[in-house]
Amino acid sequence: MAPMTLSDTTVALTDAEVAAIRSDFPALDARVNGHPLAYLDSGATAQRPLAVLDRERAFLLESNAAVHRGAHTLAGDATEAFEDARHTVAQFIGAGDDEVVWTANATDALNLVAHAFTAANRPGAVPDERLALRPGDEIVVTEAEHHANLIPWQQVAAATGATLRFVPVDDDGVWTMVDAAAVLTPRTRIIAVAHVSNVTGYTAPVAQLVAAAKELGAITVLDACQSAPHRPLDLGALGVDFAAFSSHKMLGPTGIGVLYGRQPLLDALPPFRTGGSMISTVTMESAEFLPAPQRFEAGTQPVSQAVALAEAVRYLDRVGLDRIEAREHELTTRMVDGLTGMPGIRLVGPRVGEQRTGIAAFDVAGVHAHDVGQLLDARGIAVRVGHHCAQPLHRRLGLTATTRASLYLYSTTDEVDRMLDAVSGVRAYFGAR
């Protein structure tokens, strides 16, 4: 596995720049249990800057109306803002406007794609050959997947007779392209993986997977929830067929996610939900559906959320995702080095010097993760504890839960050091041996 590399010309955000960024995030000024908040849980949900909060509020105060439905001026303004948001997000990920579908969240987006394969293969359906699944065909995931990119494919396999296979991970929770190649076969029809693991911070070899998928004629689905907020992402250039990510992990609001799909494939998918806003003609006997992306956006759309997500994208663009990635690399190295130097601490994921993205999940010998989290919280340090919606991965590692610290553009060296100092005293506090 190659060590993480960044462009020689990329300059990480400085401490002064991070301090200025933090002034945009009122939530970070909070005190928790008498201590300044150290928010190290951005992998679960990110805080929102004033620019995003203000933009959504301004839209609701000045332009709130149903989109794609009214002929009045306010409806036109709302529709323009809604579709401009789609354009902004599309540019952010290297996509066309008609390749961006608004969903409720990333889980919803992944379910949309999975449902298409189930619906297309129901008795009586005449599926596009690209969506056809027959008994014996294979869907490949990894042992490290978030449940949102595992359970939908379990359901597809059960409904179609396809076989679900998985790429195994090693004792660190990491897999390689060699491991994947051993699982892929001429029967592989779908390959669905996380770009970055939400537990280990491991970055998948997506370019190699895409190349292998094209040789097999398989469709690729990328869970980009932990990559889109943290690094430049050009999905068109990457060559994946579908990708999903969430707004709330990248400075935007909850209640909205994004599905990217290559336009010819999106148009081949049957609708996920049906109703208003996604049809062209309806009779009492049948309906005709609009092309993508509208065919997947039935009902009342998340309008103010889309507008706010676009503002979050503009905020990230102004800061520079390459500089955010470089800064997180520095802090991740500090965090990993500190944890691996502590007795009784087992850090899962890539080893020191290997590629890891802004996440450190660890086990403290003799102390349950929830107790670790409570002790850190008592000192104002917010981390995630549990299985992080990845039970199979934890089971493979022989763990029921881990404590996870995750970074973002507003994270500081002091916060990392406070977390390390607190963790260093956990075993002694609980009398663990």
Q: What is the pLDDT of residues 70-87, one digit of tens each?
A: 889 999 999 999 999 999
- Closest by CA position to 397, among listed 346, 343, 433: 346
Distances (CA, A) of 64 to 43, 56, 59, 430: 31, 10, 6, 53
225 classed as catalytic: no
Q: Could you tell me how far CA 65 lies from the centroid of its own chain?
A: 30
Q: List, in order, residues 6 or more apart from 144 with CB less than 8 Å away.
A: 169, 173, 174, 175, 194, 197, 199, 200, 202, 390, 393
**Residue 304 pLDDT exceeds 90:** yes
Stretch among 8-12, 17-21, 328-332, 385-389 having the lowest mean pLDDT: 8-12
Query: Residues 72, 65: contact at Cβ < 8 Å?
Result: yes
| Range with the largest mean pLDDT of 3-12, 276-285, 420-429 | 420-429
pLDDT of residue 69: 84
Q: What is the mean pLDDT of residues 94-123?
A: 94
Q: What is the DSSP string of 50-102?
A: HHHHHHHHHHHHHT---TTT--SHHHHHHHHHHHHHHHHHHHHTT--GGGEEE
What is the reported pLDDT for 433? 78
Which of the two residues, 134 and 152, has the higher pLDDT score? 152
Rounded CA gap, 347 and 368, in Å? 14
What whole-number percentage of the chain has pLDDT above 70?
Answer: 97
pLDDT of residue 159: 94
Q: Is the pLDDT of residue 8 over 80?
A: no
Task: Write the CB contacts of 431 (distance below 8 Å, at least 6 apart in sequence).
Answer: none
DSSP code, position 203? B
* pLDDT value of residue 4: 38
Question: Quick one: DSSP state of residue 262?
Answer: -
List the domain boundaries for the chain. Answer: 15-48+320-430, 53-317
Residue 300 in this model has a pLDDT that exceeds 70 = yes
Confirm if 241 and 221 have CB atoms less than 8 A apart. Answer: yes
> Quick one: CA torsion of 418, 419, 421, 426, rounded to 10 degrees?
140
Q: What is the pLDDT of residues 162-171, one digit of tens each?
A: 999 999 999 9
Q: Decide if pLDDT at 124 tops 80.
A: no
| pLDDT reading at 3 higher than 60 | no
Separation CA 368–CA 151 (nearest Å): 27
Answer whether residue 105 shows pLDDT above 90: yes
9-42 pLDDT, tens per residue? 689 999 999 999 999 999 999 999 999 999 999 9
Whether cis (ω within 30° of 0) applies to the bond prior to 293 is: yes
> What CATH class has 15-48+320-430?
alpha beta
List for the chain the helix, strand, coil content (%; round to 5): 40, 15, 40
**Residue closest to 84 by CA, chosen among 69, 100, 106:** 100
Q: Is 171 helix (H, G, I), strand (E, B) or coil?
A: coil
Q: Does domain 53-317 have CATH number 3.40.640.10?
A: yes
Instruction: Give the start-end residues of each E strand in 255-338.
Output: 257-261, 279-282, 287-289
How many other CB atoms are found less than 10 A from the CB of residue 280? 11
Q: Which range, of 138-142, 286-290, 402-406, averages the lowest pLDDT?
A: 286-290
- Per-residue confidence (pLDDT) for residue 2, from 0 to 100: 34
Q: Do domains 15-48+320-430 and 53-317 have the same CATH topology?
A: no
Res. 408: pLDDT tops 60: yes
Q: Given this model, what pLDDT does residue 127 score? A: 63
Question: What average pLDDT score do residues 102-118 get?
Answer: 96
Instruction: Report H helices in 105-205.
Output: 106-120, 151-160, 177-183
Instruction: Please give the average per-residue pLDDT across 60-66, as a whole number.
Output: 96
User: Which residues is 141 bridged to in the sheet?
Assistant: 166
Mean pLDDT computed over 329-353? 95
What does the alpha-carbon distance between residue 169 and residue 161 come to, in Å, rounded to a whole number?
A: 25
What's the confidence (pLDDT) of residue 126?
60
- Determine which one of 37, 65, 66, 389 is catalytic: 389
Sign of CA dihedral 353, 354, 358, 359: negative
Give the position of tokens 């998948």: 204
Say what the pTM is. 0.95
Q: Is the pLDDT of residue 158 over 60?
A: yes
The whole-angstrom separation of Cα 253 and Cα 53 is 9
